[in-house]
Structures are given as C-alpha cells and as structure tokens.
C-alpha cells in the first residue's frame, strides 16, 4: 500500500469537463478523502488548474489516469507528502526575504 497522503499537481485541461466534475471524478477514487481544484489560468481552449488531493494510501497512477480520462495532461508534480503524518512546508528566513 502507498504511503502517499497528499499530491499537488499542475494540470492542463480543456474547458470541459468543469472544475466541479474533475473534483467529483477524482474524489471518487479509493483512498481520497478530499480534493481541491483551483483555477490558475484560462485561455481560449484550455484551463490551467492546481489539483490538491489528500487521503490515505493515494494511488498516483490511478489519479493521473482519472485526470487523463477527463482530457487533462499533467504538467508537473508540485508536492508529495508521504508517511504516517502530514508535515507542512516551513518557510525559511531566506525564503522570507531575510
């Protein structure tokens, strides 16, 4: 079983299906407890979205396949959290401009 608890994905999709439909489709995958789909940018044919998925034992390949079935393509994996607990990212002094 996978120990992945959170995935943050940069995804490009056509205008249809809607963000609501994409979230519902990903939300039905086994192990998914929650999905956040955020619109980042829109052009005449596509939408750039950020998809955040949380759960227990997430199956990356199954999530990727569900997105591809929606006509979407994965641009990048921006964050992966794995293990028994979720560790939030901490900004360092240097990252804060200091």
pLDDT at 98 over 80: no
Q: What share of the chain is helix, strand, coil (3-state, %, to 5)?
A: 20, 45, 40
| Residue 1 · residue 57 · CB < 8 Å | yes
Q: How much is the average pLDDT of 3-30?
A: 97
Pairing of strands 32-42, 73-82: unpaired
pTM > 0.75: yes or no: yes
User: pLDDT-derived band of residue 86, with 50, 70 and 90 as boundaries?
Assistant: confident
Tens digit of each residue's pLDDT (9 = 90 or more) over 26-81: 999 999 999 999 999 999 999 999 999 999 999 999 999 999 999 999 999 999 99
- Give the model's pLDDT for residue 92: 85
Helix (H), strand (E) at residue 81:
strand 73-82
Domains of the chain: 4-82 (3.30.70.1340)
Note the pLDDT of residue 95: 80
Per-residue confidence band for 88, with pLDDT thresholds at 50, 70 and 90: confident
Ramachandran assignment for 97, one of left (phi > 0), alpha (psi -120 to 50 degrees), beta (any other): left
């Amino acid at each position: 079983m996978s120990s992945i608890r959170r995935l943050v994905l940069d995804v490009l999709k056509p205008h249809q299906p809607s963000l609501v439909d994409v979230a519902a489709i990903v939300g039905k995958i086994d192990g998914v407890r929650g999905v956040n789909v955020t619109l980042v940018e829109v052009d005449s044919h596509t939408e750039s979205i950020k998809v955040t998925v949380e759960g227990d034992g997430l199956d990356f390949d199954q999530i990727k396949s569900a997105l591809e079935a929606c006509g979407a393509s994965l641009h990048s994996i921006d964050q992966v959290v794995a293990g028994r607990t979720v560790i939030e990212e901490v900004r360092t002094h240097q990252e804060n401009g200091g």
